[in-house]
Amino acid sequence: MPEGQMHNANALTPAQAAQYWRDGYLFPLNLMSIKEAARWRHTLEDMEQNYGEAKMQRTLGTYKRINAQCVMPFAYELATQPRLLDMIEAILGPDILIYGAEFFIKEAQSEQIVSMHQDLTYWGLGATDHLVTAWIALSEVNVESGCMQFVAESHANQILPHEDTFADNNLLSRGQEIQVQVAEEDKTDIVLRPGQLSLHHGRMIHGSGPNSSEDRRIGFVIRYVSPEVMQEVAQKDYAMLVRGADRARHFVHYTPPPSLFAPSHLALYEEMREAQRQAMMAGASKSSTLYD
């Protein structure tokens, strides 16, 4: 988006922004109608049906699960909707980069969970305040379907000790689980209708349970950073500038994908994957890859 373009200063009220910084999260926020969310879901599921057997280096699940914005134009488009970026600007300021985007899907009647953790634990970005995650619901998201649970004000901690479990039913890269007791009464259920979203801080303690419903639980998750963030573990890292300017240049920039699974961006995807693997698997208790 060109510098100088007028943005919607009312995407979040001052009270909402203050609530985010106080609690470490904010929900529910209305991004689109249920009908529009259904269209995005159809786009995703049409791709799943038509590309599920495509002969690519990785499984389709891998491309959905990490850096979808690099190889799926519709993921980039969804992550850069002006109203969404307006909300992010109210938190991070006028200069915004996408660090990563993914489709976080729990199939119907699935035992898959996400253990309680802090996002920034293994990304190599330090304990920064300048990363915010947007979690967009493309299906009904409730307790039955395995909604996220946040622990209010837990972002006030620094990064706490975690343990790798590598559990088969854990959707996280290392099955990482925070090594502090979290009481059930301290968890807030993040219930969203299709088209709504939540925002949360990178040090927020959160997780989610299994999906016992009859429908898929589909979330589209985008990690946004401001330019002062930098990779501290791997040799390099990648991000996409989507608003304002990046004068720090701590990340390798890249362009949106020109088409679905374009060869040029599949090659780029592998470069990004390896760079981020170096950070995310540093010190792991056993050798692992990223969501293969």
- Which pLDDT tens digit goes with each residue over 125-147? 999 999 999 999 999 999 999 99
174 found inside a domain:
yes
- pTM for the predicted model, two decimal places: 0.90
Q: Name, in order, each residue with C-beta under 8 angstroms of 111's C-beta and a sequence gap of 6 or more.
A: 169, 210
Query: Which tokens sit at 175?
Result: 């099955």
Q: Provide the Cα torsion 233, 238, 241, 246; round to 10°.
A: 50
Phi, then psi, of 79 in degrees rounded to 5:
-75, -15
Identify whether 8 is part of a domain.
no
Instruction: Give the pLDDT of residue 114.
Output: 76
Under the banding of pLDDT at 50, 70 and 90, the label for residue 56 is: confident
- Residue 172 scores a pLDDT above 70: no
* Rounded distance between C-alpha atoms, residue 202 and residue 118, angstroms: 7
In a domain, 287, yes or no: no
Number of domains in the chain: 1
Residue with tokens 């998201």: 141
Q: Is the residue at 5 inside a domain?
A: no
Residue 269, SS3 per DSSP = helix
Is residue 267, in this structure, part of any structural domain at all?
yes
Q: Is residue 289 part of a domain?
A: no
38 in a domain, yes or no?
A: yes
State the pLDDT at residue 6: 44
Cβ atoms of residues 290 and 276 within 8 Å: yes
pLDDT digits (tens, 9 = 90+) for 225-254: 999 999 999 999 999 999 999 999 999 999
Q: Find the mean pLDDT for residues 56-77.
A: 95
Is residue 10 situated within a structural domain? Answer: no
What secondary structure, in 3-state letters, does 83-139 show? HHHHHHHHHHCCCEEEEEEEEEEECCCECCEEEEEEHHHCCCCCCCCCEEEEEEECC
Q: What is the dihedral of CA 219, 119, 289, 180, to 10 degrees?
A: -120
Q: Which residues pair with 258 in a beta bridge?
A: none
Q: Are strands 177-178 and 96-106 parallel, antiparallel or unpaired?
A: unpaired
CATH of the domain at 87: 2.60.120.620
Residues of the domain holding 65: 21-280
Most confident range, picked from 2-11, 34-43, 45-54, 207-216: 34-43
Verify cis geometry, omega within 30 degrees of 0, for the bond prior to 28. Answer: yes
**What confidence tens digit (pLDDT) does each residue in 95-115 have?**
999 999 999 999 999 888 778
The three state secondary structure string of 26-71 is EEEEECCCHHHHHHHHHHHHHHHHHHCCCCCCCCHHHHHHCCHHHH
Q: What is the pLDDT of residue 5?
A: 45
